[in-house]
Amino acid sequence: MESVVPTIGMHYVVEAAGCREEILTDARKLEEIFKEAAKAAKMTIKASHFFRFSPKGISGTVIVAESHISIHTWPEKGYAAIDVYTCGDSDPERAVDYILEKIGAKYAHVSELKRGIPEDDGTYTHTIVTWEEQPGE
């Protein structure tokens, strides 16, 4: 019988490549995608802010009751750095999959961190599992 490791949160760190430049430069579109991803993952949206840099690039965050999801883009490289961190009852992997599909990522390196694993001495640690995806295949 496999034991369940108690954890405070799940954190997905995503390196997305081959993304559509026109989406990675559109703050409104990215905010819409991230809010829809939060809804798809059963997260409760509290606030959001997306900022467009000149001449290109977006940084944005959707704050959810469960924590946050964020993105930083380099459109000229087709690259996006994405974080999805949640605690509670939600489906963060669903948010990751939704975002990758909508930004047109051709490749993603995903690290899943189980965070806040209690140690016997009162401290906390985390575990990491990584994999690579080719969304849409």
Query: Which residues, 6+ apart, have CB-to-CB distance to 122 below 8 Å?
Result: none
Q: Is 67 a catalytic residue?
A: yes
User: Residue 106 is which amino acid?
Assistant: K
Q: Is 19 a catalytic residue?
A: no
Burial (Cβ within 10 Å: 0-12, 13-18, ≥19) of residue 21: middle
Catalytic-role residue among 67, 68, 70, 90:
67
Q: How far apart are CA 105 and CA 107, in angstroms?
A: 6
Q: Is 87 a catalytic residue?
A: yes
Active-site amino acid positions: 67, 72, 87
